[in-house]
Structure 1
Amino acid sequence: MKILLSILLLLAGAGSLSAQQKPSVVSAAKSLTSVVKMDTLNWVDQSRKRFVPVAIYEPEKSIASQRKLNQVIILSHGYGQNQWGSYKAYSYLANFLASKGYTVVSIQHELSTDDLLPTTGKPIETRWSNWERGVQNILFVIRELKRTRPDLDYKHLNLIGHSNGGDMSMLFATQHPELVDKVISLDNRRMPFPRVSKPRIYSLRSSDQPADEGVLPAPDEQQQFGIELVKLKNTIHNEMDDNGKAWQQEEINQLVLGFLLKK
């Protein structure tokens, strides 16, 4: 992996490497009727000498022009024990949102050379460096997108993250609230929600895994700041990615889209 990274750094130049275009027709079984294009890009953050792969899902130009929607969604995966391909593990959600006109950028946060996520101690302490690295990845991706895709809408930037990726997203919203319009957590359990009304915060909660004490806002805080929590009564934590059943994915798709469309 280190050899590969060295080669990529030499080739990176301004920071962007080759892309592989993989147009895919979204099946009717997933209630998607438009054509979505998925590209993979291997970016390199020169300041950190770090490889940052992304998968970009977006509607074909004809669909995008019809919808006149250029909002960006940055998607952060749950912890995958440094397995390659985690950034493609939410294709059902990314394809669905792209079919609605959004540009979805899913980041591979973990590399094989990274330390494994600590499983002992207080997560708020032991996992902080992992979340901070995720924040830096997101900041880098935003910079690269602005440089390479000035046509997109960065005034309404949205973050979606599952589990550990949700923790990263909540930390990002805490540290850089001015950059984000909406944050959607798919059952993050460790990083406390910022108690703020901007950005808007929404979370889908699993039926099986509770959050740590102090992570979720109390009912009065939810009302005060307009934070919305929705319990998925029939979906467990590990069914929120592509492993979920079709009806579970459809429920998540519709709830997420409904929140994104709120003014």
Structure 2
Amino acid sequence: MQTTQFELVDSSRQRVIPVAAYYAAAETGASTPTRKLALLNHGYGGKNTDYTFIAQNLVAHGYYVASLQQDLPGDAPMPTATGNVYQARYPYWARGVQTMLFALKALKRRQPGLDLRHVLVVGHSNGGDMAMLLAQQHPELVQKVISLDNRRVPFPRQRRPEILSLRSSDQVADPGVLPSPAEQAKYHTTIIQLPATLHNDMWDGATEAQKREINYLISRFLQ
């Protein structure tokens, strides 16, 4: 696997987006292969380099992984969990959606061989809420979503994209976020509880056993 870091410049919003990219090394003399694209979104206050164990697994499944730095220096802090949390935090999730939409176009220009017909979006916590909002608003752009314990933005009740959500043992989603068992069956949504994993364990700081379990479930979903 190869890794590189670069910046995408969204001049329309005057926003410079750091990207950590992970991809399979090309064989000597081989042309650049067509790769599916995965966008990876960190949890609030985290870094785009904090999820390498997941990125490595996605590369093994044929993805070019672009891990986006959503929180930037100078951004206003996200409101604390008081009052109408959804309404207060919606602009932050919407900004993340705009970053992902820009990244799709910018990455295609940078890597013409990317296959945008099979886009995977992954997000932890607040990054998972961004992923769900993108799936709600632009289902035609996303084939699959993997949520690592998003808690605020409701899952889209629709067949596209396919959704896997791994849920922690210590945090509970807001009412109406998770689909009912009947809705899960209707829309082929997969929700799995991780009894030995806390909300804040779902990054590179996890134990090796936790990483293995998370990657096993992700691999099963992608196969």
Q: Which TM-score applies when normalising by structure 1?
A: 0.81
Provide the residue aligned with 1:222 in structure 2: 184
In structure 2, C-alpha distance between the alignment counterparts of 1:150 and 1:254, rounded to whole Å: 30
In structure 1, C-alpha distance between the alignment counterparts of 2:159 and 2:34, rounded to whole Å: 24
In structure 2, C-alpha distance between the alignment counterparts of 1:73 and 1:149, rounded to whole Å: 13
Work out whether residues 161 and 167 of structure 1, in 8 Å CA contact, stay in contact via their aligned partners in 2.
yes
Runs of 4+ in structure 1 off by over 6 angstroms are none
What are the Cα deviations for residues 74-105 of structure 1, in whole angstroms up to 9, with x where unaligned? 0000001xx6xx00011111122223431111
- Answering whether residue 35 of structure 2 is matched by residue 70 of structure 1, we say yes
In structure 1, C-alpha distance between the alignment counterparts of 2:221 and 2:102, rounded to whole Å: 26
Going from structure 1 to structure 2, the CA distance change for 1:224 and 1:100 (only over 3 Å counts) comes to closer
In structure 1, C-alpha distance between the alignment counterparts of 2:83 and 2:155, rounded to whole Å: 20
Alignment RMSD: 1.4
In structure 2, C-alpha distance between the alignment counterparts of 1:149 and 1:257, rounded to whole Å: 25
Work out whether residues 40 and 53 of structure 1, in 8 Å CA contact, stay in contact via their aligned partners in 2.
yes
Q: Which amino acid aligns with 1:143?
A: K
Provide the residue aligned with 1:129 in structure 2: 91
Q: Which amino acid aligns with 2:198?
A: I
Q: What does 1:140-155 align with in structure 2 at a 5 Å threshold?
A: 140-155=102-117
Aligned with residue 197 of structure 2, among 235, 245, 249: 235
Q: Which amino acid aligns with 1:39?
A: T
Work out whether residues 202 and 228 of structure 1, in 8 Å CA contact, stay in contact via their aligned partners in 2.
yes
Work out whether residues 69 and 102 of structure 1, in 8 Å CA contact, stay in contact via their aligned partners in 2.
no
Provide the residue aligned with 2:57 in structure 1: 96
In structure 2, C-alpha distance between the alignment counterparts of 1:97 and 1:107, rounded to whole Å: 15
Work out whether residues 205 and 230 of structure 1, in 8 Å CA contact, stay in contact via their aligned partners in 2.
yes
Work out whether residues 169 and 193 of structure 2, in 8 Å CA contact, stay in contact via their aligned partners in 1.
yes
SS of equivalent residue, structure 2 residue 79: coil
SS of equivalent residue, structure 2 residue 146: strand
- The structure with the larger Rg is 1
Q: Which amino acid aligns with 1:89?
A: D
- Answering whether residue 171 of structure 2 is matched by residue 171 of structure 1, we say no
Provide the residue aligned with 1:56 in structure 2: 21
In structure 1, C-alpha distance between the alignment counterparts of 2:214 and 2:38, rounded to whole Å: 15
In structure 2, C-alpha distance between the alignment counterparts of 1:161 and 1:62, rounded to whole Å: 30
In structure 2, C-alpha distance between the alignment counterparts of 1:79 and 1:49, rounded to whole Å: 21
Provide the residue aligned with 2:163 in structure 1: 201
Work out whether residues 76 and 165 of structure 1, in 8 Å CA contact, stay in contact via their aligned partners in 2.
yes
Displacement of 1:69: 6.4
Task: Choose between structure 1 and 2 for higher RCO, CA contacts under 8 A separated by at least 6 residues.
Answer: 2
Q: What does 1:5-84 align with in structure 2 at a 5 Å threshold?
A: 36-62=1-27, 70-80=35-45
SS of equivalent residue, structure 1 residue 62: coil
In structure 2, C-alpha distance between the alignment counterparts of 1:97 and 1:121, rounded to whole Å: 38
Q: Which amino acid aligns with 1:79?
A: Y
Q: Which amino acid aligns with 2:9?
A: V
Listed as ranges, the gaps of 5+ residues in structure 1 are 1-35
SS of equivalent residue, structure 1 residue 203: strand
Q: Which TM-score applies when normalising by structure 2?
A: 0.95
In structure 2, C-alpha distance between the alignment counterparts of 1:146 and 1:159, rounded to whole Å: 15
SS of equivalent residue, structure 1 residue 117: coil
SS of equivalent residue, structure 1 residue 61: coil
In structure 1, C-alpha distance between the alignment counterparts of 2:55 and 2:141, rounded to whole Å: 21
